[in-house]
Amino acid sequence: MGSAASCCCGSEKVEHGCVSTSSVGNTTWRIFSYKELHAATGGFSEENKLGEGGFGSVYWGKTPDGLQIAVKKLKPNTNTSKAEMEFAVEVEVLARVRHRNLLGLRGYCAGSAAGADQRMIVYDYMPNLSLLSHLHGQFAADNTLDWARRMRVIMGSAEALVHLHHEASPAIIHRDIKASNVLLDSDFAPLVADFGFAKLVPDGVSHMTTRVKGTLGYLAPEYAMWGKVSGACDVYSFGILMIELVSGRKPIERLPSGAKRTITEWAEPLIARGRLGDLVDPRLRGSFDGAQLAQVLEAAALCVQGEPERRPDMRAVVRILRGEPGDDAAGKGGNNKPVRLESVKYADHLMETEVDSVYSGEEDENEEEEDEEEDAMEQSSDEVEEYSLMMDDRSSANFGVFGAMPVPAQTMVRDTYVRRFGGNNAVKI
């Protein structure tokens, strides 16, 4: 992963995949000291906390030169090799890639301070938080996502994936494309975020087998059931995200009967009957572009095909979204046939789990030293570690890098961006 055998990060080293500034030719990020980040976040105060999850907490901060940042602070003294790997992977990927639709890395901190090992990643702060917070969370009732903004999110996110899959070297598979990992800047431009699960793909490698990590509902079936990961897995997840953006529905929803239904099972009969307008989020009140809707649904239907080899790559997806001529090959778009979507159900034992569960394959303690070789290993995904994110759960883990926790008035007074999200709009946790 890293090009250096070891790299100093403050007074410590990031094990299992060090990041070297000389390996990426990017001078816009740097190593922060614990003291700097402690001061910027008001001592990691509760009033500056943006959210928290199993990894730790995220804090809003401001540097002496006025830059607003978000600091992802991992829980101290619990840095297993697995957590260290995810930390190193995210820093490595963020340091390698630069694109207007990828969340920027401002730097990181790795060392010993305050009597504990500290691991922190510093991002640009995104004032409009995550896409999920506007579709299903604390800002869902505000109707800030009109059709033009939704199309902008779709196009920008697609172009970000083109960069990861086809322009970055080595290619990068995100593995966790979902609404909570698409952040929105002050102009509602999308930035794909959270690269802790990302895979760097060596040249000539088409797919790998690995432990299953991600969120049920977005996971490609071959990945969810057998751990087979490739760029086509991101394509599938993006297809689900497009349907979610158009419809305002969750990838998996619980029916009044208690049964669970995927978004593709809901959309399939409507598309089959040509009732494309019925898929549009009612909150838009009929204000959408019919031609763009048809292009988005055509792209989505191709992306969520059950067989990964039939899915288009992200360059073809962008062509479809732009209305440009496509390839004649099966699954590549560019034909005049009516849109058809074939929904794919997960195996019963997966659908029996909670709605929106985040999956992370079980890891034997004796296998921790073999993490770097997991791409070449057949790993069982039968046993999973589940983190319940139910439909009525308002835990900040639902909201990706920037959580759903309200920012108190003291912080809002100092921050014009945060101020707009205060008061009655804040979710009470």
73 assigned binding-site residue? yes
At residue 148's C-alpha, the angle toward residues 144 and 150, to 5°, is: 65
Instruction: Give the single-character DSSP code of 130.
Output: B
Strand partners, 228: 209
415 labelled catalytic: no
Instruction: Give the single-character DSSP code of 352.
Output: T
How many other CB atoms sit within 10 Å of the CB of residue 340? 12
Pairing assessment for the beta strands 116-124 and 182-184 based on DSSP bridges: unpaired
Q: Rounded CA gap, 370 and 8, in Å?
A: 23
Helix axes 147-162, 314-322, angle to 10 degrees: 150
Among candidate residues 176, 194, 281, 356, the one labeled active-site is: 176
Q: Are 136 and 250 in contact (CB under 8 A)?
A: yes
The closest alpha carbon to 157, from 374, 336, 321, 358, belongs to 321
Question: Which residue is it, tokens 């101020």?
Answer: 419
**What's at 237, amino acid-wise?**
S
In this structure, which long-range contacts are made by residues 260-269, counting pairs with CB atoms below 8 Å and at least 24 apart in sequence? 260/351, 260/355, 262/217, 262/343, 262/344, 262/345, 262/346, 263/217, 264/240, 264/304, 264/341, 264/343, 264/344, 265/343, 265/345, 267/243, 267/341, 267/343, 268/341, 268/342, 268/343
Pairing assessment for the beta strands 199-201 and 182-184 based on DSSP bridges: unpaired
Active site residues: 176
Annotated binding site for ATP: 73
Annotated binding site: 73
